[in-house]
Structure 1
Amino acid sequence: MSDIEKEENKDSSPPTTPPTGGPTKNNDIDDDEKENKIERSLTENLNKRFYNNNNNNSNNSNGEEIEDIDYKNFKTIKEFGYYYNDKGELRSIEGEEKFKFINQQQYDRLGDIIVKTIQNKMKSEPINLEEHWIPKGETNQCNIFTSKDFFENPTKLMVFINGSGAVKSGQWARSLCINDTLNTGSILPYLNDAISNDFSIIVLNPNYNVFEERIIEEGEEQKEKAKEEEEKKDDNGKLLKKKRVDNSIKGSENSNNHILTVYDEFIKKSPAKEIVIVAHSFGGVNTTYLLDNRGEEIADRLKSIAFTDSVHSLSPKSSSFTKSFFADENKTKNWVKSDKKLNTDLGFSKLQGCNIASSGHRVHEFTSSACRVPLFQFILNSLKK
Structure 2
Amino acid sequence: MAEAPLQTTNCEPALARLKNFGYAFDKAGVLRKIDPATGEPGEELFSYNISSDANENEKHYQKLADQIPEIVYALLEKNGLSRTYIPFGKPPEQSSFVYSQPAKLSQSKKLLILIHGSGQVKAGQWARSLIINNSLDHGSQLPYVRQAQKLGYDLLITNANDTTRFLNGKDILIKGVEKPQKHTKYVWKNIVLPSKPESVAIVAHSYGGFLTYDLVDEFFEFFKEKVFAIAFTDAVTASPQASNKDYLQSVACDWVTSKAPLDTLVSASKDDIRKVSAGHTKHEWTSYSAIDSIFKFMEEKYELRMNKK
TM bucket normalised to smaller:
0.7 to 0.9
* Larger relative strand fraction: 2
CA distance in 1 between counterparts of 2:297 and 2:247 reads 15
Q: What's the secondary structure of 2:111's corresponding residue?
A: strand
**1:118-197 alignment, distance < 5 Å:** 118-124=72-78, 127-138=79-90, 140-148=94-102, 150-152=104-106, 154-197=108-151
Give the 3 Å change call, closer, same or farther, for CA 349–113 of structure 1 in structure 2. farther
Tell me the residue number matched to 1:258: 183
Residue 275 of structure 1, aligned match among 186, 189, 200: 200
Residue 43 of structure 2, aligned match among 86, 96, 99: 96
Q: What's the secondary structure of 2:204's corresponding residue?
A: strand
**1:292-303 alignment, distance < 5 Å:** 292-303=217-228
CA RMSD of aligned residues (A): 2.0
Q: Deviations over 1:83-125 (max 9, x none)?
A: 111221100112431112242222222212111111100001x
Q: Deviations over 1:120-157 (max 9, x none)?
A: 00001xx2100112113335311210002652453110
Give the 3 Å change call, closer, same or farther, for CA 350–266 of structure 1 in structure 2. same
Q: What's the secondary structure of 2:97's corresponding residue?
A: strand
TM-superposed CA distance for 1:170, in Å, is 0.4
TM-superposed CA distance for 1:270, in Å, is 2.0
Please identify the structure whose Cα radius of gyration is greater: 1
Residue 379 of structure 1, aligned match among 287, 292, 298: 298
CA contact (8 A) 1:159 1:278 kept: yes
CA contact (8 A) 1:150 1:201 kept: no
Q: Which residue identity does 2:246 align to in structure 1?
A: S
Residue 243 of structure 2, aligned match among 320, 329, 342: 320
**1:187-336 alignment, distance < 5 Å:** 187-212=141-166, 226=168, 247-314=172-239, 318=241, 320-321=243-244, 323-328=245-250, 331-336=251-256
CA contact (8 A) 2:69 2:122 kept: yes
Give the 3 Å change call, closer, same or farther, for CA 155–368 of structure 1 in structure 2. same
Tell me the residue number matched to 1:356: 275
Q: What's the secondary structure of 1:87's corresponding residue?
A: coil
* Count of matched residue positions in the alignment of Structure 1 and Structure 2: 276
CA distance in 2 between counterparts of 1:97 and 1:266 reads 43
**1:25-104 alignment, distance < 5 Å:** 76-94=17-35, 95-101=42-48, 102=50, 103-104=57-58
Give yes or no for the alignment of 1:338 onto 2:263.
no
Q: What's the secondary structure of 1:320's corresponding residue?
A: coil
Give the 3 Å change call, closer, same or farther, for CA 255–306 of structure 1 in structure 2. same
Give the 3 Å change call, closer, same or farther, for CA 162–283 of structure 1 in structure 2. same
CA distance in 2 between counterparts of 1:154 and 1:193 reads 17
Q: What's the secondary structure of 1:313's corresponding residue?
A: coil
Q: What's the secondary structure of 2:45's corresponding residue?
A: coil
CA contact (8 A) 1:292 1:319 kept: no
Give the 3 Å change call, closer, same or farther, for CA 150–289 of structure 1 in structure 2. same
CA distance in 2 between counterparts of 1:253 and 1:342 reads 37
Q: Which residue identity does 1:325 align to in structure 2?
A: Y
Q: Which residue identity does 2:211 align to in structure 1?
A: N
**What is the aligned-residue identity percentage?**
33
Q: What's the secondary structure of 1:384's corresponding residue?
A: helix
Q: What's the secondary structure of 1:207's corresponding residue?
A: coil
Give the TM-score, by structure 2 length: 0.84
Q: Deviations over 1:8-46 (max 9, x none)?
A: xxxxxxxxxxxxxxxxxxxxxxxxxxxxxxxxxxxxxxx
CA distance in 1 between counterparts of 2:261 and 2:171 reads 48
Q: Deviations over 1:172-213 (max 9, x none)?
A: 00000101111110000000000001100000011111113x
Stretch moving more, 93-102 or 286-295 = 93-102
CA contact (8 A) 1:153 1:200 kept: no
Unaligned runs of 5+ in 1: 1-72, 216-225, 228-244
Unaligned runs of 5+ in 2: 1-13, 36-41, 51-56, 305-309
Q: Which residue identity does 2:237 align to in structure 1?
A: H
CA contact (8 A) 1:75 1:113 kept: no
TM-superposed CA distance for 1:246, in Å, is 6.9
CA contact (8 A) 2:84 2:103 kept: no
